[in-house]
């Protein structure tokens, strides 16, 4: 993720994840794109990188 040009970002900069799995999960009104099996994280820990409202197409 590179938000170095995003003035509204909590922390400007670049974050790099090295992961071996990607998935789509549903949550209250949202679809979430999640990464898992990432270096430096627990094998079963999921990192949400982006989410979309179910009502938007």
Q: Which domain holds residue 43?
A: 20-53
In a domain, residue 1? The reply is no
Residue 15 included in any domain: no
State residue 55's pLDDT score. 84
The mean pLDDT of 2-27, rounded to a whole number, is 79
Q: How confident is residue 15, by pLDDT bands cut at 50, 70 and 90?
A: confident
Question: What is the average per-residue pLDDT within 25-39?
Answer: 93
Using an 8 Å Cβ cutoff, are 24 and 34 in contact? Answer: yes
Task: Tell me, yes or no, whether 28 lies in a domain.
Answer: yes
The answer to whether residue 26 is domain-embedded is yes
Instruction: Answer whether residue 7 is part of any domain.
Output: no
Determine, yes or no, domain membership for 47: yes
Residue 34 φ/ψ, nearest 5 degrees: -120, 140
**How many structural domains compose the chain?**
1
Q: Which residues pair with 34 in a beta bridge?
A: 23, 48
């Amino acid at each position: 993720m590179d938000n170095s040009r995003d003035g509204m970002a909590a922390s400007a900069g670049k974050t790099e994840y090295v992961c071996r799995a990607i998935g789509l999960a549903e949550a209250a009104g949202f679809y979430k794109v999640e990464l898992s099996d990432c270096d430096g994280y627990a094998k079963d820990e999921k990192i949400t990188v982006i989410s979309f409202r179910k009502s938007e197409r």
